[in-house]
Amino acid sequence: MRALLVRDLMLAIRAGGGFGLGLAFFLIVTVLVPFGVGPQTELLSRIAPGILWIGALLACLLSLDRILALDWEDGSLDLLATAPLPMEGIVSVKALAHWITTGLPLVLAAPVLGVLLSLPVPAYQWVVISLAVGTPALSVIGTFGAALTVGIKRGGLLMSLLVLPLYVPTLIFGAEVARRGAEGLTVQTPLLLLAGISFGVIALLPFASAAVLRINLR
């Protein structure tokens, strides 16, 4: 399993798409929003936590089809399926690799981009914390979506349609943590619920993803 993780990470780094593309997309979204709503500082700082969350979510979505599609095309997924690893392990590792290459950089980049949106000072830590807790859920749910659509040509759009509704609870609680943090309210309840979703999804969804992937490899 560790070998698989290392392999996926190496591929992502060498191909260059993993780190760079998601981050660039995140940057562009946060740059475009002020153009759309106007440059007033007080308005921007009010919506900044939400923008950062939506930007991170979209950047995550953008890189989902890389999780499985490449391995599907060159047949290494079939090889992995016949390997002694359980399928649940494979999809979990895939999700972890996706999180390390996409989710983690997003978490680290969020405070920098927060400056652009004049994010209120107390909100910085909560944006980072909520993203750190929430992005693993995004990766795991995304892996499920990628597994569902892996056999479909041009499945990217369909995958977005399937995955985005599944992202709703995570987005709501994550953005709520960041928003309440920005206003100096207590964040305990949404943060716990967000963590609950992340842990629940990490524990349970790989079984569904593995089942789906087995069906697709039949």
Which residues here bind another protein, judged by CB under 8 A?
Answer: 144, 148-149, 151-152, 155, 158, 161-162, 164-166, 168-169, 172-173, 176, 179-180, 189-190, 193, 197, 205, 208, 211-212, 215-216, 218
Judging by beta carbons within 10 Å of its beta carbon (0-12, 13-18, 19+), is residue 40 exposed, middle or buried? exposed
Task: Considering the complex, state which of residue 51 and residue 113 has its C-beta at the smaller distance from another protein.
Answer: 51
Give the nearest distance from C-beta 58 to another protein in angstroms: 16
Give the nearest distance from C-beta 50 to another protein in angstroms: 11
Give the nearest distance from C-beta 191 to another protein in angstroms: 12
Task: Considering the complex, state which of residue 19 and residue 160 has its C-beta at the smaller distance from another protein.
Answer: 160
Half-sphere exposure for 78 (CA within 13 Å, toward CB): 7
Name the packing angle between helices 41-62 and 17-37 (round to 10°).
150
8 Å CB contact between 38 and 118:
no
8 Å CB contact between 191 and 129:
yes
8 Å CB contact between 88 and 207:
yes
Task: Considering the complex, state which of residue 23 and residue 160 has its C-beta at the smaller distance from another protein.
Answer: 160
Give the nearest distance from C-beta 78 to another protein in angstroms: 16
Task: Considering the complex, state which of residue 89 and residue 169 has its C-beta at the smaller distance from another protein.
Answer: 169
Give the nearest distance from C-beta 173 to another protein in angstroms: 6
8 Å CB contact between 68 and 146:
yes
> Which tokens sit at 157?
């759009």
Judging by beta carbons within 10 Å of its beta carbon (0-12, 13-18, 19+), is residue 169 exposed, middle or buried? middle
Task: Considering the complex, state which of residue 26 and residue 167 has its C-beta at the smaller distance from another protein.
Answer: 167
